[in-house]
Structure 1
Amino acid sequence: MADEPFGFLQRWYATQCNDEWEHTYGVKIDTLDNPGWSISVDLVGTDLEGYAFGWQSLDRTEYDWIHIRSDGRLFQGACGPLNLAEMVAEFERFATSSGKPPGG
């Protein structure tokens, strides 16, 4: 089940690709030195552009945490080393709830 959010992210990205969007915008996943992961998903030119919410944080332990936000142009997140699938699932929740904040 942990791979399902990545399937959604792949399908969402493929849907945005129109021979223009992908040349300027995209999705970036990187590592942090906390340790952890970061994600940036461009919303410009997508149905999610303009949907914003402030930082939301869930801090369970030193290595089990997730922080996400959207400024309407970029969905951003950071998380602990074992929370990448959970963070991508939060993007899925954001994207499939018409841009409402997670839990909203």
Structure 2
Amino acid sequence: MEILDWIQLWFKNNCDGEWEYGSGIQITTLDNPGWDVEIDVSNTSLATFDIPWILNEHGKQDWYGVKIEDQKFNASGDAGKLKFLLELFKETVEKIERIKES
């Protein structure tokens, strides 16, 4: 499944008449240049998890960071990382769901 299809399905499955009126999913640009993805996970399997900011930097044009804090998934990366950041969110959701099932 393509990442945009997966994100759309994830969003649809989490809409409950209230959650979608909050922050939902925000994708913005950074001025360095880059991307910032913020996803409200307050009503999801990630709600009870906090992950401190992890920065992976291989150079000015090759970096990304991720955290879960205050029930928000936040990932940022260089200008070529938007698809990667969305896939990172998907991987995180799937890992947490596997942990919760164990």
TM-score (normalised: structure 2): 0.86
Shift of 1:5: 2.2
Off by >6 Å, runs of 4+ in structure 1:
none
Which SS does the other structure have where 2:96 is aligned?
Answer: coil
Please say if residues 37 and 78 of structure 1, whose CA atoms lie closer than 8 Å, have aligned partners that are also in contact: yes
Q: Map 1:2-81; keep pairs closer than 5 Å.
A: 4-71=2-69, 73-81=71-79
Range with bigger deviation, 55-64 or 34-43: 55-64
Measured in 2, the distance between the counterparts of 1:49 and 1:59 equals 27
Shift of 1:50: 1.0
The percentage of aligned residue pairs carrying the same residue is 26
Amino acid at match of 1:17: C
Please say if residues 25 and 44 of structure 1, whose CA atoms lie closer than 8 Å, have aligned partners that are also in contact: no
TM-score (normalised: structure 1): 0.85
2:81 is matched with 83
Query: Which has a greater percent of helix?
Result: 2
Q: Give unmatched runs, 5+ long, in structure 2.
A: none
Amino acid at match of 1:8: W
Q: Give CA-to-partner distance per residue, 1:24-57, whole Å, 9 cap, x none.
A: 2300000000000001000112222011111112
Shift of 1:99: 6.2
Which SS does the other structure have where 1:45 is aligned?
Answer: coil
Measured in 2, the distance between the counterparts of 1:60 and 1:9 equals 27
Measured in 1, the distance between the counterparts of 2:3 and 2:59 equals 23
